[in-house]
Structure 1
Amino acid sequence: MTGGTSSRRMLLAVLAAAFVAQPAAAADAITVVAPDFWCPFSCKAGTAQEGFTIDILRAIFKPLGRPVRYENLNYARALVAVRAGRYSATSPTYKDEAPDFIFPSTPISRNRYCFYTAPDSRWQYKHAASLAGQRVGIVQGYTYGKEIDQAVAQGLAAFEVNYGEDLGYRLARKLMLGRLDSFIEDENLVSYIMAKHADVRLRQAGCAPVSYSYFALSPALAESKTLAREFDEGIARLHESGQLERILKPYGLRDWVGQYRKGP
């Protein structure tokens, strides 16, 4: 009996030590989840170009001894998982899409949503009233700015809500097959899709104002406020050193932090 008790105590001690050590190792890693179809913002995990927002996060947190682990998940599921604390963050995200999340002061990307049509279409987005009669593809969980969001809420067009994987390309295909009159997507993402897929030819038909999206941290994790502060300090360093410009260049983008600081 004594020998058995000693063995059990030794086993419990080993298990307790392993249990205590595990959270410390996990706390050092920042787990980020995002769709793989948002190139150049977030791309397929494990590839040479995982997306400029992921590259920015690694450049900020690696020198602090915090590896960034990146996985792919569709956006609606990513928001649910991050909100529950199963991942540290998603990127990029608009504040209106997840108002309960923790956000740094400085955004991680410059965005502009535009309407896209078939090349031979003459329709142009000018204001909410111009949407009348349109079949417009939108994405579940997205926010497009005050005017367009209000138009969606009021049903000013026949909005088709889409969800799942590879949505930008799927919306473009629906458009070219005549199942939509137009769809809304970020102009950088659409440019990437057209460069990648020779069968996709689209016409830009009006855009919303420039907006900014953020590194969105889990409201369920205590470290999120610290990570938000470290992000603000880190992106300032990247901007001032010129490293941010070097990160963005392979994606065909420019450093926009100075423009953001100046305001509209």
Structure 2
Amino acid sequence: MPGAEKRPLRLAAALVFLLLASQAASGLDGGEPFSERPVRLVADDWCPQHCESGTPHKGYIVDIVERALRLEKVPYVIEYRPWGRALAETQQGSFDGLLTPTVAEYPQFLFPREAVGYQEYCLYVRKDDPWKYARPEDLLGRRVAFLKDSGLGELEAFFERNARRTPTQQFSDGKGYTSRIFTFLARKRTDVVIITSDVYHFNLKSGIIANNFRQAGCLGAERLAVGLSQANPERSKRLAVILDQGIRQLRQSGELKKITDNYGIADW
């Protein structure tokens, strides 16, 4: 049968991966066992990805990461900080990992192979505003509001080059951030709000923001993964193996799809 000779190699590779995951969790590879120093993760309040209140939802990414670590019997804690502070403290090594940066825009982190979701930044305007977005130059002459340290890629460089013609207002995150920034837009203190589509729709469905806005364009989907600190690279590499193994088990069992379905999020 064609390809039959490859099966032993594939089986051997799978067994090696399982062994590495087991060793990483137990510390048999020479690293400190996670049982002695539990994994510390940090997130910002960014529902439906991670929800600080935890009521009635923890967030689909939190659900995925927690269940992946439990499958691998790795103890953990998740704490919440504003986004900018969470970024800095993870880079410094105060936390093992950050929930959840985009892989392309945050090269300062080590990432597992497995994604925990995708997000897309979109641009929102008042419903009576006919403006549409197709390229950065469309923003010339518009006032723009967004979360500080969002990781907007080429747009950030565009804003720096065109600061006079495209003034920006960068918000700090925290509880009530989405309500605050859309109130800012409703009161005509800005012309455009940039925020991820999942956050917008979650807050719209929850009644946190009014149905007075519309989507004027998007920047493209980006892969999300747990950003692991480079301050302790060996520990982060072991944690990446564990997360990959746990997430793959969730996908194979159908549990990952149940989580995403619960939040109305499309699987990737």
The residue number in structure 2 matching 1:161 is: 170
Considering fraction of residues, name the structure with more helix.
1
Matches within 5 A, 1:102-251: 102-146=110-154, 148-155=155-162, 157-165=166-174, 166-197=176-207, 199-201=209-211, 202-221=213-232, 222-251=234-263
Partners of 2:208 and 2:227 in 1: CA distance: 33
**Cα deviation 1:7-64 (Å, max 9, x = unaligned):** xxxxxxxxxxxxxxxx86764522211112x101010154341111111111111122
> Does the aligned pair in 1 maintain the 2:104–2:222 contact within 8 Å?
no
Q: Which has the higher contact order (CA 8 A, sep 6+)?
A: 2
> Does the aligned pair in 2 maintain the 1:32–1:71 contact within 8 Å?
yes
> Does the aligned pair in 1 maintain the 2:106–2:151 contact within 8 Å?
no
Following superposition, the deviation at residue 167 of structure 1 comes to 2.5
> Does the aligned pair in 2 maintain the 1:41–1:52 contact within 8 Å?
yes
Following superposition, the deviation at residue 164 of structure 1 comes to 3.3
Gaps of 5+ in 2: 1-31
**Of 93, 96, 99, which aligns to 2:107?**
99
1:95 alignment partner, SS class: coil
| TM-score under structure 2 length normalisation | 0.80
Following superposition, the deviation at residue 100 of structure 1 comes to 1.9
> Does the aligned pair in 1 maintain the 2:35–2:75 contact within 8 Å?
no
Higher-Rg structure is 1
> Does the aligned pair in 2 maintain the 1:45–1:71 contact within 8 Å?
no
Aligned length: 232
2:114 alignment partner, SS class: coil
Partners of 1:228 and 1:153 in 2: CA distance: 35
Gaps of 5+ in 1: 1-22, 257-264
**Cα deviation 1:92-122 (Å, max 9, x = unaligned):** 1023543221111222111111000111111
> Identity of counterpart residues, as a percentage?
27
Alpha carbons of structure 1 residues 212 and 24: separation in structure 2 relative to 1, 3 Å: closer
Runs of 4+ that moved beyond 3 A: 23-28, 45-48, 95-98
| TM-score under structure 1 length normalisation | 0.81
> Does the aligned pair in 2 maintain the 1:52–1:248 contact within 8 Å?
yes
Following superposition, the deviation at residue 229 of structure 1 comes to 1.7
Give the CA RMSD over aligned residues.
Answer: 1.9
1:70 aligns with 2:53: no
Q: Quick check: 75-84 or 65-74, which moved more?
A: 65-74
Partners of 1:176 and 1:34 in 2: CA distance: 28
Partners of 1:26 and 1:45 in 2: CA distance: 27
The residue number in structure 2 matching 1:59 is: 67
> Does the aligned pair in 2 maintain the 1:28–1:66 contact within 8 Å?
no
